[in-house]
Structure 1
Amino acid sequence: MARLDQLGWHSSRAFPALLALCAVLTTACTSSKGTADEKSESPASTVSAAPSKSVSMDPAEAAKAEAISAYQSYWTELPKAYAVPAIEGTELQRYTAAEALAKAQAGVANLKTLGQIMTGAPVLTNPTVTGAELDKKTPNVTISACLDVLPWKVIQKDTGQPAPLPSSRATKYVVIALVERWDDGWKVLKSTPHGDQQC
């Protein structure tokens, strides 16, 4: 029987420890621009149409929305990697860096060693910015959300049988992430589960 501790699951919470240091959900989201276009009408015979007007979102709020979108995309791409398991073929590296990427790579390696995959995906809800340092050289935000890992299953690849999990595990709890804005976009540096904080 595969050892779940090798995969990094806490015996009391049954959540990969590799995710504890990961820096975002269940629905695929692209980066939000945070604007609403209101195209002005112009006669069909007019050669030069009036330029489109837009209502700009406050820059700080736009930045927070982009960070949340990146976190959501992280939680879309991570299950894809664990379902193979392989980082290649996913956009995980687009949304992660530092500890988050290293832990994802370690998780993929552990799954391969154990002959396991993960099916389904966790459900991330109510991602909310709880802290922001947008004036720093490298802007960052802290995001708190609720994560439901019950739909995310560890499967033995050769048999298709689910791996046994501790009955006392927490399956829905608060996760807190640190996300930074790099030159090529927002990156999740880590995402820490708080199994003692149910949501």
Structure 2
Amino acid sequence: MARLDQLGWNSSRAVPAFLLTVCVVLTAACTSSGGKDNEKDNAATPTATAVPSKSASMDPAEAAKAEAISAYQSYWTELPKAYAVPAMEGTELQRYTSAEALAKAQAGVANLKALGQIMTGAPVLTNPTVTGAELDKKTPNVTISACLDVLPWKLIQKDTGQPAPLPSTRATKYVVIALVERWEDGWKVLKSTPHGDQPC
């Protein structure tokens, strides 16, 4: 049986630490995978609150915030695709992430692969809201708070297709807070932190 810390999960909160991003809690057996690593299971696109479209009449600051939220939503669209294989290839995660967020996504893929597991379905992200912004800095950034429901995101043993065991006390719907920066090639999620002690 794998320890939670081996999987990058915060065992005290039963929330995945490799989530910058992720979000269910893993405690599955280390069973070897019987499937191919490049095999894709269809992952549903996470539901997200609509972001106002950028228009000529939109205030530049509000437009920047909307773009940052859109990038964060795209991050939650791409992450389930990677965990459904598991592999980074075939996703646009590197377009929307960098730094800690990218490293944790890569670690999550590696952990799932090592345990012979995949994740099916997708989390539901709602009410993404900019709670802080530093748009005048050399590298503009915003802080985004949202509610993440990971109950629809299932951890599966790849060789058997059976659900992997999870702690009964795990948090399944909680606040996530992200740091997003605007780079030359667009907004990137640098960090996405789950707060399992803050239900939403």
Same fold flag (TM > 0.5): yes
Look up the SS of the partner of 1:67 in the other structure: helix
The Cα of 1:5 is off from its aligned counterpart by 4.0
Determine if contact 2:14/2:196 at 8 Å carries over to the other structure.
no
The 1:21–1:123 alpha-carbon spacing in structure 2 relative to 1, beyond 3 Å, is closer
What does residue 144 of structure 1 align with?
A: 145
Aligned length: 178
Structure 1: gaps (5+ residues): 36-54
The 1:119–1:3 alpha-carbon spacing in structure 2 relative to 1, beyond 3 Å, is farther
Look up the SS of the partner of 1:74 in the other structure: helix
Structure-1 separation of matches of 2:194 and 2:67: 22
Determine if contact 1:12/1:168 at 8 Å carries over to the other structure.
no
Structure-2 separation of matches of 1:11 and 1:187: 28
Q: Give deviations 1:23-50, integer Å, cap 9, x for gaps.
A: xx81489997511xxxxxxxxxxxxxxx
The alignment status of 1:34 with 2:35, answered yes or no, reads: no
What does residue 42 of structure 1 align with?
A: none
Structure-2 separation of matches of 1:32 and 1:111: 35
The Cα of 1:9 is off from its aligned counterpart by 2.7
Structure-2 separation of matches of 1:101 and 1:110: 14
What does residue 159 of structure 1 align with?
A: 160
Please report the TM-score for the alignment, with normalisation by the length of structure 2: 0.82
Structure-1 separation of matches of 2:5 and 2:60: 44
Among the aligned pairs, what percent are the same residue?
87
Structure-2 separation of matches of 1:95 and 1:6: 26
What does residue 7 of structure 2 align with?
A: 7
The 1:97–1:174 alpha-carbon spacing in structure 2 relative to 1, beyond 3 Å, is same
What does residue 109 of structure 1 align with?
A: 110
Please report the TM-score for the alignment, with normalisation by the length of structure 1: 0.83
Q: Give deviations 1:111-141, integer Å, cap 9, x for gaps.
A: 1100000111111000000000000000000
What does residue 17 of structure 1 align with?
A: 17
Q: Which has the larger radius of gyration?
A: 1
Determine if contact 1:128/1:143 at 8 Å carries over to the other structure.
yes
Look up the SS of the partner of 1:167 in the other structure: coil
Look up the SS of the partner of 1:6 in the other structure: helix
**Residue type matched to 1:34 in 2?**
K
Determine if contact 1:144/1:176 at 8 Å carries over to the other structure.
yes
The Cα of 1:153 is off from its aligned counterpart by 1.0
Q: Give deviations 1:132-169, integer Å, cap 9, x for gaps.
A: 00000000000000000111111110001111111111
Determine if contact 2:147/2:174 at 8 Å carries over to the other structure.
yes
Look up the SS of the partner of 2:11 in the other structure: coil
The 1:143–1:28 alpha-carbon spacing in structure 2 relative to 1, beyond 3 Å, is closer
Structure-2 separation of matches of 1:106 and 1:146: 23
Determine if contact 1:31/1:70 at 8 Å carries over to the other structure.
no
Structure 2: gaps (5+ residues): 23-44
1:1-199, aligned counterparts within 5 Å? 1-20=1-20, 26-27=46-47, 33-35=53-55, 55-199=56-200
What does residue 44 of structure 1 align with?
A: none
Structure-2 separation of matches of 1:69 and 1:189: 14
